[in-house]
Amino acid sequence: MLKAVLTDIDGTLTDPSRRISTQAVETIRELTDRGIPVILASGNTACFMDAIARMIGTDGTFIAENGGVYRIGRTGQLRIRGDQDECWEAFSLVNTHFREKGIALELFSPTYRFADVAFGRTVSSDEVREVLAGSRVRVIDTGYAIHLQSPGISKGTALTGLAGELGIPLSEFLAIGDSVNDIDMIRTAGTGAVVANAHPDAKARAAYVAEKEYGAGFVEIIGYYSSYFRER
């Protein structure tokens, strides 16, 4: 049986223009009203996640910064994992490298990030990895930003932490995503599914691959597993 849903946002609930699917929002609200927690997971900041959780209508539980931060409910304390100092040290190396080439990097919301460092995809993530070849810091290209993150941190590790606090076994989570940074949460949850536009590596690790893309695919997945859900 399934008791909770963990879902990525960009590329899973949104289309290529980053417009969120109203069908997906309605489906999430229906699940929430039935007492089935829906947890939003993203590389975005906690501030952004708090706002979108309220607008969509979940109970406020979310995973931010690709697993570096998570929160239980709307009033819970932020759980911050990883060492942002080492991420800033790594960014300094990367920034110096590209500045010498005449390229300025655009930091994304540095004031509101607590676990990682993110910047625009104006440079090659492969080149960033080459610069940081001797560093412990991971380079994550989500397709929307390049993130520098401490090792051992992912949406999957955050899922393990919040599942314990929620008292819901990992086996009773349905995780839905589309990108390579969703793979760990798909493998960690009892059941993993992806929308049709998902990366091939994510599809290879999913128990179910939707026929439809983006938000419509999310709705399809929930419909496919509807008989597996048990209300808390």
d(CA 123, CA 121): 5
Contact 102, 190 (CB under 8 A): no
Query: Please, is 230 exposed, middle or buried when counting C-beta atoms within 10 Å of its C-beta (0-12, 13-18, 19+)?
Result: exposed
d(CA 116, CA 182): 17
Contact 105, 98 (CB under 8 A): yes
Q: What is the number of alpha carbons within 13 Å of residue 92 lying toward its C-beta?
A: 6
d(CA 48, CA 225): 29
Is 201 a known active-site residue? no
Nearest to 28 by CA among 5, 62, 12, 48: 5
Catalytic-role residue among 8, 10, 116, 184: 8
Q: What are the catalytic residues?
A: 8
